[in-house]
Structure 1
């Protein structure tokens, strides 16, 4: 009989694909507005924040990846 391997963590599943979690602290009102904007565009807050980060990097770090 094979032993069942216990799950390393309970809770949320890891992001799909080649993504990693990035934890930061922000003003609660900013977080609320990001979530509302994401819902309004049928997107996740993570997608909105990744887009914002990419745009910021393009403006401030031209040519670097």
Structure 2
């Protein structure tokens, strides 16, 4: 049965209102641990570190494709 928003997926958290959505991926345990430790040291979150890394990678990729 759909809920108030018309969404019939039970047990799911409502989407944040900041335009972000959850994205599941796989990484080596060592990388995950290092990202989490860096987040603690920098007083931030692992997802912010990963989002920044992804944006930087996409920017470098876009720039390298323009040169080709």
TM-score (norm 2): 0.69
| Aligned counterpart, 1:44 | 45
Unaligned 5+ residue runs, structure 1? none
Unaligned 5+ residue runs, structure 2? 5-9, 64-68
TM-score (norm 1): 0.72
- Find out whether 1:32 has 2:37 as its counterpart: no
| Structure 1 outlier segments of 4+, above 6 Å | none
Contact 1:15–1:21 (CA<8 Å) still a contact in 2? no
- The aligned runs of 1:1-65 (5 Å cut-off) are 8-9=10-11, 14-15=15-16, 17-62=18-63
RMSD: 2.1
How many positions carry a matched residue from both structures?
56
